[in-house]
Amino acid sequence: MMGVMKKLTKTLTYDAPAEAVTAMLDDPAFRQAVLERQRVLRGSVDIDGDVARIEQVRSGADIPSFARSFVGDEIVIVQTETWTSPTAAQIELAIPGKPGEAVGTLVLVESGGTTTETVELAVTVRIPLVGGKVEGMIADMVKHALDKEHEVGVEWLAR
């Protein structure tokens, strides 16, 4: 039986107007700082107009054994954000060469000088038997990555 998709919703709140959060997300230096905080092995950031592409290579060392045969020693994740407005983007996370992906949206909503970023993703891994477990693992990895992004963002905006 193939896994059903795993839904993930993550909300990050910044004590800043949406314009400042958009500018931060559009800054390659911010994205690079986030990769460093996430302790990726290697990473690259390419922001071209309305499209941000972040590639990260993570160690497979802390990945559970059931998933290691799927991901190998390293896991490559390519995050592509296509901004449809200053406060909304389509997100796609691809794992090149592997039958897994996540797609969804990122939306910024400002209220009284505070901006809430909501990321909603559907994670799908097409592997018999362990697909659901791998989806959960990827969802947890994304949640952790967003927590690190939020930490960096709060510090960044406070400067």
Report which of 124, 130, 142 is spatially closest to residue 56, judged by C-alpha positions.
Answer: 142
What is the per-residue pLDDT for 147? 96
Give the lowest-confidence range in 31-35, 75-79, 127-131, 147-151.
127-131
Topology of the domain covering 6-158 = Alpha-D-Glucose-1,6-Bisphosphate; Chain A, domain 4 (3.30.530)
Q: pLDDT (tens digit, 9 = 90+) per residue, 60-115?
A: 887 888 777 777 888 899 999 999 999 999 999 998 888 889 999 999 999 999 99
What is the per-residue pLDDT for 4? 64
What is the per-residue pLDDT for 156? 97
For residue 143 the two structure tokens come to: 């949640």
Q: Report the 10 Å Cβ neighbour count for 83.
A: 18
Give the lowest-confidence range in 2-6, 89-93, 99-103, 142-146.
2-6
Q: Which residue's structure tokens are 């406060």?
A: 87
Query: What are the extents of the domains in the chain?
Result: 6-158
> Is the pTM of the predicted complex or chain greater than 0.75?
yes
The Cα–Cα gap between 58 and 151 comes to 19
